[in-house]
Amino acid sequence: MPEEGMVWMNKDELLMYEEITTLTQIFANLGITKLRLTGGEPLMRKDIHKLVRMLTSVTGITDIALTTNGFFLNEQAELLSKAGLKRINVSLDSLDALKFKRITRRDYLNRVLNGLEIIASYGIQPIKINMVVMRDINDDEVTEFAMLARTKPYIVRFIEFMPIGCDDGWSAGRVVPSKEIREKIERDLHRKLVPVEYHGTQPSDRYIFDDEKGEIGFISSVSEPFCEHCNRVRITSDGKLRTCLFSHNETDLKHLIRNGAGNDQIRAVIIDAVWKKEKGHLINRPDFARPSRTMSQIGG
């Protein structure tokens, strides 16, 4: 999120929980079985456990996950667990307190680490840690993160740096390819990484260590795009359907719901949009253009 200049949405611009549930049922009837609540920061909604409980009742939905920066996990872990949350991802880019503060502009590393311990105590599994690797910023920590997967009940995923913010400092030179990260981890830990799932429908390529002690994953959006396998779509917090994170076009589902469109009409609009899903994000091509909204604005 930019440090300055954010314009906050009015609450009535956001989808209500009942509207999210209605859309989820329409998507479930089209074959969607897995949901992920993300952001932005989903735990900014203090009663998000109520939404989780509502979504678990949707026929056809078998898996609900959540991605968070971990700041509010301490307060919300118990309620999320009781509501039926199945899986959780915590975004964490450094284990060094000073570096963490520099990246996030907040001094709360210990709070996040404590939140991870608390969520684990409620039996939510798997717990995944998402580390965005940036050259000359935190790439010297990849081995330490890999060790978390061997010593804690966490799956660690290394994500290539993508241009998803207006002032995120992204450049091709900041990207650390997954291949380079894998080789460093194997070299430093004297262990081979064995592929478990490679180029599947999920964005992460999964590996275990050759002694079967720990799992890590790699999301190689820049060096090894997986667009042709992507089967994901996103509904933003203000009710727009995006068929790619880097889409330049959105389909306004909130407008349909609030203007009396029936489920069949909304279903037809969704199908039409998905048939037009982008072939790829073009990050590695000269004609790549950032989307007009940053990740902090997109939500979902």
Domain annotation covers residue 168 = yes
Q: Give the torsion through C-alpha atoms of 297, 236, 275, 166, to 10 deg.
A: 10
How far is residue 46's CA from residue 76's CA, in Å, rounded to a whole number?
Answer: 8
Q: Which residues contact 3 (CB under 8 A, 6 or more apart)?
A: 105, 167
The answer to whether the beta carbons of residues 65 and 71 sit under 8 Å apart is no
Q: How many domains are there within the chain?
A: 1
Helices (H) and strands (E) in the chain, counts: 10, 11
3-state helix, strand, coil in the chain (%, to 5): 40, 20, 45
Is there a contact between 194 and 210 (Cβ–Cβ < 8 Å)? yes
Residue 132 within a domain = yes
d(CA 238, CA 255): 10
Rounded to whole angstroms, how far apart are CA atoms 300 and 286?
A: 28
CA distance 95 to 98: 9
pLDDT score recorded for residue 202: 75
> Which residue range(s) make up the domain with 163?
126-229
d(CA 129, CA 127): 7
In degrees rounded to 5, what are phi and psi of residue 234? -135, 135
Give the pTM: 0.89
76 found inside a domain: no
CA distance linking residue 225 with residue 219, whole number of Å: 9
Residue 152 lies in a domain: yes
Q: Is residue 45 part of a domain?
A: no
pLDDT in the model for residue 257: 97
Domain contains 23: no
Residues of the chain with pLDDT under 50: 300
In-domain check, residue 180: yes
Asked whether residue 194 is assigned to any structural domain, the reply reads yes
pLDDT at 286: 59
What's residue 155's pLDDT?
A: 97
Per-residue model confidence as pLDDT tens digits over 39-61: 879 999 999 999 999 999 999 99
